[in-house]
Structure 1
Amino acid sequence: MEITSSNEKGNLIINEEAISSIAINAAKDVDGVSSFSSKPMDVVGTIKKGSLKVMSPVRITQDGEDMDISIYINLLPNKKIKTVSENVQHNVHEAILNMTGKEVSKVNVIIAGIDFPENGDSNAPLTSEN
């Protein structure tokens, strides 16, 4: 998918990967976002676009002038889901609008998981055997 706009000077084509990169970079700046998760596999989309599309944490759909963004994120522990989600929505919406001039109708934030530290947390309760 590409976003195309034309004027008297020529055409502007913005590729889906560019919009996806803008969304990821905007979401990275939000406190509480730990990492990104790959979106669930879309078999038809994979066949049409190629297998590399499966790895993207951003899904972009466009219907006429309406553009919807879905972004799959993982949170840091002890962060408020609502606050982080609203901040991601705001940052992604503003970044895409500022960089492309295109309005985003919706930014859907999907919480794919929570990234807990792999090595024991110092605040975790200790257990001992007697």
Structure 2
Amino acid sequence: MEIIKTSEKGNLIINEEALASIAINAAKDVDGVSSFSNKPMDVVDTIKKGSLKVMSPVRITQDGERMDVSIYINLLPNKKIKSVSENVQHNVAEAILNMTGKEVSKVNVIIAGIDFPDNGDSNAPLTSEK
């Protein structure tokens, strides 16, 4: 998937990896996003493309002029899923529009998990254990 723009000065091609990078950087700025989750891409698409990049936190699909973005994120604890998701949707769509001039029709935010802080040694007994 690429965005191709033609002018009298030449062609501009923006590939999927660049779009994914824009989406990730836009989502990083949202309060409540802890990290990204690598979800496997569709096996058939991976084989067709011949790509060795099987894991990606961002999937971009394009059907004509319609571009859909799906992003897999992990949240910080005690953050509201709805507000974080809406902020990610807004930031990703706006960043792609501002940087490429291409409008995003839909941003799907998939909450893959919650990143809880690691409190010390995992082998240490819990306070309720004796």
**Normalising to structure 2: TM-score of the pair?**
0.89
| Aligned equivalent of 1:62 | 62
What is the deviation of 1:55?
1.8
Give the 4+ runs in structure 1 shifted more than 6 A.
none
Aligned equivalents of 2:68, 2:42: Cα separation in 1: 17
What SS does structure 1 have at the residue aligned with 2:84?
A: helix
Aligned-partner residue type, residue 16 of structure 1? E
In the alignment, structure 2 segments of 5+ residues that lack a partner are 121-125
Deviations 1:30-89 (A, max 9, x none): 00000001123411122123121x221000000111100000000011100000000000
| Aligned equivalent of 2:16 | 16
Aligned-partner residue type, residue 99 of structure 1? M
What is the deviation of 1:6?
1.1
| Aligned equivalent of 2:52 | 51
In the alignment, structure 1 segments of 5+ residues that lack a partner are none
Aligned equivalents of 1:63, 1:8: Cα separation in 2: 26
| Contact 1:39–1:59 (Cα < 8 Å) also in 2 | no
| Aligned equivalent of 1:127 | 128
**Normalising to structure 1: TM-score of the pair?**
0.89
Residues 44-123 of structure 1 aligned to structure 2 (within 5 Å):
44-49=44-49, 50-52=51-53, 54-119=54-119
What is the deviation of 1:8?
1.9
What SS does structure 2 have at the residue aligned with 1:51?
A: coil
What SS does structure 1 have at the residue aligned with 2:111?
A: strand
Deviates more, 1:42-51 or 1:56-65: 42-51
- RMSD, aligned CA: 1.5
